[in-house]
Structure 1
Amino acid sequence: MDLDHARAVAVDAARAAGALLLAGTGGAGGTVQVRSKGGSGDVVTDLDLASEKLLLERILTAFPSHAVIAEESGLLGASGGEWTWLVDPLDGTNNVAIGLPAYVVGLALCRAGRPMLGVVHDPVTGQTWSAIRGCGAVTASGVRLAAPYRPSPHGPLLAWTQGYTVSRDDATVRALKTALELGARRVLQLWAPLLSWAMLARGDIDGMVGYRAEAVDLPAGALIAREAGVEIRALDGGPFEEGIDGTADDRSFVAAHPHALPALLALIR
């Protein structure tokens, strides 16, 4: 498998989907059609579906033997194969629904459940970030990402994400959020976790905490951040793998620069 070729295909597909999304959210004569999805307050738009259609066509044309797990369409192809793509056509749908320009397109390619390639594209700024496992994370122009360590006496700037199935009265969520609010300078809840991962990889924020994160949008961002030098651990400080296997509980994590991670783990404990 030529992962450099796969990255080129994924980057081109993500940019094409991003152009579609940008045109659809630009107010050029139309409104975004929004409807509820599930019973947890999540929504889906016509742009999610159009972007996913484009991405699926690009990916399956280039790699017809690969399986795909897409946000809206679910599994396409046989499960359990060697290569599986994860497709998040619009990470930040709730933002788009209220007119907030904070959303990205995300793609990951996994081998036996383990992400080997991640791509995140921001249509609003035109920026694209990608990573191949073991080869580092880069911008579209090839500049290497390296998450900096910048301790602040006022506490870290953090991002929070949680899965849609997490209930409002979840005791663990309440305890984690209380600890973060007390110990952090700011806690961002962007409704677009892939964008948060990119911000962490760039050094815009100091850390990220996730609770039962969604499976489709976790691997691409986590791989990019890890390849930029970010360390990711389970909530108890144990090992964490950003794969597609396991349960929702396996997708709870703490991520930060290695020098900042001990203090962040201590904070949530």
Structure 2
Amino acid sequence: MDLERARTLAVEAARDAGTLLRTGVDTGFRTSAKGSTGDVVTDLDLASERLLVDRILTAYPGHAVIAEEAGLLGTAGAEWTWLVDPLDGTNNLAIGLPAYAVGLALCRSGRPVLGVVHDPVHARTWSALRGRGATDPVGARLSTPCRPRPHGPLLAWTQGYAVTRDDRRALALKAAMDVTARRVLRLWAPLLAWVMLARGDIDGVVGYRTGTVDLPAGALIAQEAGVEIRALDGGPFDELIDGGATENRSFVAAHPKSLPSLLDLVATALDRA
């Protein structure tokens, strides 16, 4: 398997999907309800997903694909599985907020080895190969800095759609972050939060029962830039993707020098939950 070839294909496909999304935003799109949690889907999600899946399975007909809307496609049980998030930030797009992304990840035996995140609004793309580093939109090596923040860290929060409004652990974590951090971003587009963390724009990301499809691409880019990811209890983070599992992944991510204080914050919050 030539991973550089796979990265080239993924980057080109993500950019083409981004062009489709930008054009659709300008010309108009339809929005409909998705499930009972208040989530939405647009015809742009579906069109972007078709483009990405077609491009992947044409090039790699023996691979499996887990797509945000269509679910499992291609060859079930394949060694290589693609995760496709055709429009991360659908709710943002639906209300006219220009913060959304396209995400692609390739896993071998469940372990992410390739990640691509494309920001259609600014026409910027980040990618990473496991063990080979992450690259920024101009192709330079991405390395996460550790910046001092005298008035508290800048953090991002992300949660899965299955999390209810009265989830005590989620409420405790968000309250602790609001008290400690200078700002807490809730972007509704976690792939963009991962890129911001990788660049050092923010200092940490806390995720609670998050989805699978929109996680590995950004997480791998951040890891390859120098970010460390742990489970909420400080133990190892299980990054393996198991079949069609789509939720219940919780984590803390930060530069290694910033991680201990963020883990302490999380531990204190969960003790009070």
Alignment of 1:214 with 2:211, yes or no, is yes
Distance 1:79 1:222 in 2: 24
Q: TM-score, normalised by structure 1?
A: 0.96
Alignment of 1:248 with 2:247, yes or no, is yes
Contact 2:32 2:40 in 1 (8 A): yes
Q: Give 1:247 shift.
A: 7.4
Cα distance 1:170–1:224, how it changes in 2: closer, same or farther (>3 A)? Answer: same
Contact 2:127 2:134 in 1 (8 A): yes
Match of 2:112 in 1: 115
Q: Give 1:96 shift.
A: 0.5
Distance 1:168 1:9 in 2: 40
Q: Deviations over 1:150-204 (max 9, x none)?
A: 1212111001000011111101001100110111111000000001001111111
Match of 2:271 in 1: none
Contact 1:219 1:243 in 2 (8 A): no
Match of 2:259 in 1: 261
Match of 2:8 in 1: 8
Q: Deviations over 1:68-123 (max 9, x none)?
A: 00001100023322000000000000000000000000000000111000000001
The amino acid that maps onto 1:262 is P
Contact 1:18 1:121 in 2 (8 A): yes
Distance 1:76 1:38 in 2: 21
- Structure 1 segments, 4+ long, off by >6 Å, are none
Match of 2:17 in 1: 17
Out of 198, 201, 205, the position equivalent to 2:195 is: 198
The amino acid that maps onto 2:258 is A
Distance 1:239 1:24 in 2: 41
Q: Deviations over 1:207-236 (max 9, x none)?
A: 100001111010111000000000000000
Distance 2:90 2:51 in 1: 17
Match runs of 1:4-153 below 5 Å: 4-26=4-26, 28=27, 31-153=28-150
Contact 1:234 1:252 in 2 (8 A): yes
RMSD, aligned CA: 1.1
Q: Deviations over 1:123-170 (max 9, x none)?
A: 111110000000000023221111110121211100100001111110
Structure 2 alignment gaps of length 5 or more: 268-273
Distance 1:43 1:218 in 2: 19
Distance 2:220 2:17 in 1: 21
The amino acid that maps onto 1:15 is R
The amino acid that maps onto 1:197 is W
Contact 2:211 2:246 in 1 (8 A): no
Contact 2:212 2:246 in 1 (8 A): no
Q: TM-score, normalised by structure 2?
A: 0.95
Contact 1:201 1:228 in 2 (8 A): yes
Contact 2:103 2:191 in 1 (8 A): yes
Most deviating of 236-245 and 183-192: 236-245
Match of 2:270 in 1: none
Match of 2:179 in 1: 182
Identity of aligned residues (%): 71
Contact 2:227 2:256 in 1 (8 A): yes
Structure 1 alignment gaps of length 5 or more: none
Most deviating of 63-72 and 136-145: 136-145
